[in-house]
Amino acid sequence: MIKKMRYPLIASLVVMCILINSCKRDNTDNISTLLTTGYWQLGSLTQLDYIGDTQLGDTTYVCDTVQTFTFNKDGSCNFVNFACATNTANGTWNLSDTRLFLNANITEPDSTGKPYQPFANSRIANLGEYSLVLETGDIQNYYSTTDRRRIFRWGFVRRRTSTK
């Protein structure tokens, strides 16, 4: 009799363990953790021009100054040497509900002197352990075949904070 009860009891325990473990919630946010570990150094900035989905050309911007983007766990961020200028632009950041867009309210003057927020609604094109690619500009999902679009692709490489 005990041998007959052993298998259903073991099966019941296994099912119960699976149900209990499936109900656990992990409050860690992997994307936030990736963003806030170390800082991000700008590796490339490319401007892509389109009409509809036809690419007209691209321009790569070159800067001799090291530019870094730092995300802090408290929601603050800063961009050092934005647009090759010797400055530090500060702001706050958050992720959209879908975790596909980064919203950072860093404000810098554009080429005409008007306030400009380059990362106000930037699409996360790629995020990995050592790389981050953000797209800004005309990044709408739906556009007509005659729409002119300009997309800026920011490529960053992670740098770890040194521990001395």
Domain extents in the chain: 30-159
2, pLDDT greater than 70:
no
Q: Does the predicted model carry a pTM greater than 0.75?
A: yes
Q: Which pLDDT band, with edges at 50, 70 and 90, does 19 fall under?
A: low
Phi, psi of 27 (to 5 degrees): -85, 5
pLDDT of residue 124: 96
Structure tokens at 137: 């500009």
Pick from 120, 151, 149: nearest CA to 137: 151
CA 155 from chain centre, in angstroms, equals 11
Q: Which pLDDT band, with edges at 50, 70 and 90, does 112 fall under?
A: confident
Tell me which CATH code domain 30-159 carries: 2.40.128.270
More confidently predicted of 39 and 112: 39
Average pLDDT of the residues in 142-148: 90
User: What does each C-alpha distance from 54 to 48, 50, 140 come to in angstroms?
Assistant: 10, 5, 15
- 50 close to 149: Cβ distance less than 8 angstroms: yes
Average pLDDT of the residues in 86-104: 94
Token pair 């961009």 is at which residue? 79
- 74 close to 88: Cβ distance less than 8 angstroms: no
